[in-house]
């Protein structure tokens, strides 16, 4: 299920409080400010600091 752009505009990174963007494959929310990504599991973003993974060049 694609992410609603209006919802994405409201979501913020729990670490940096900055905006998030959707990865090209639609499986991650990415915080460019914190250099981390958050998984989307069963269409639910896991927006807790413990779920964050360091960015490794994904887009």
Name which of 33, 17, 23 is nearest 58 in CA terms.
23
| E strand residue ranges, 1-59 | 21-22, 28-31, 36-41, 44-45, 53-54
The encoded tokens of residue 44 equal: 């639910």
Q: Which pLDDT belongs to residue 3?
A: 78
The encoded tokens of residue 16 equal: 């940096």
Nearest 5°: phi and psi at 34?
Answer: -90, -10
pLDDT in tens, 31-51: 999 999 999 999 899 999 999
Q: Which pLDDT belongs to residue 1?
A: 62
Confidence of residue 57 (pLDDT cuts 50, 70, 90): low
pLDDT in tens, 19-31: 999 999 999 999 9
Domains of the chain: 5-54 (2.20.25.10)
Q: How far apart are CA 16 and CA 10, in angstroms?
A: 14
């Amino acid at each position: 299920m694609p992410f609603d752009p209006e919802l994405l505009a409201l979501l913020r990174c729990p670490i940096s409080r900055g905006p998030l963007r959707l990865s090209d494959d639609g499986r991650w929310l990415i915080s460019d400010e914190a250099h981390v990504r958050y998984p989307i599991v069963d269409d639910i973003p896991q927006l807790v600091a413990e779920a964050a993974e360091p960015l490794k060049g994904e887009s």
